[in-house]
Structure 1
Amino acid sequence: MANETKQLTKKDLIVKVAEKCEITKSEAESVVQEFLQTIIDEVKEGNKIAINGFGTFERSYKDAAVYRNPKTGEPIHKDGKNIPKFKFSNAFKDSVL
């Protein structure tokens, strides 16, 4: 039998934060939204965010490449682009496993 996992939505996360911090859902929503937006803004600027015991968010660059269409063999050119990366900390991995 396969493990069934529950998907936690942003709304669910806000409710949990509100309960654990004993604040209103509105306050928790503001905190969660600002936290996420700060990560996005900093990574967008090229900054690395390291959260001890959790992980590291950063931006990486994927080089331009040429692929081939498997049906026609025709080359497909992909431009280089920035991509977001997240690396779990060892402490996070150890606590989950």
Structure 2
Amino acid sequence: MTKSDLVAAIAEKAGIRKKDAEAALNAFLEVVTEALAKGDKVEIRGFGTFLMKERAPRVARNPRTGEKVEVPAKLTPAFKPGKDLKEATEKELKKKRK
């Protein structure tokens, strides 16, 4: 599903114009991005939590030269699904497998 597909689905479910749905989605994405950049987490009960996770430093290998490269530790955005989301997706997957 692309962003435009998501906008169309939100507009249909909410009974609003696509333009309004896109504005709401863009605002949501901006708020989440700003919160993560400040080091906060965004928790939506039942859906999940957006947070920053630290990746440990590691040694990687350049595939072209085979040379070892030090990759420093860094923070990266992550999503942890909530219980309700896990249950709903699991239920849908079971339906599709039958």
> What is the TM-score when the length of structure 1 is the normalising length?
0.81
Correspondence for 1:89? 82
Correspondence for 1:21? 14
**SS of match in other structure, 1:11:** helix
Deviation per CA, 1:32-69: give whole Å up to 9, x if none.
11111111111111101110111011001112222345
Whole-Å separation in 1 of the counterparts to 2:47 and 2:72: 32
Of 63-72 and 42-51, more deviation after overlay is shown by 63-72
> What is the TM-score when the length of structure 2 is the normalising length?
0.80
**2:57 maps to amino acid:** A
% of aligned pairs identical?
37
Q: Deviation at 1:74?
A: 3.8
Whole-Å separation in 1 of the counterparts to 2:58 and 2:32: 28
Correspondence for 1:44? 37
Q: Deviation at 1:71?
A: 8.2
Q: Pick the structure with more helix per residue.
A: 2
Whole-Å separation in 2 of the counterparts to 1:14 and 1:88: 21
**SS of match in other structure, 2:16:** coil
Runs of 5+ consecutive residues of structure 1 not aligned to the other structure? 1-7
Tell me how large the CA RMSD over aligned residues is: 1.8
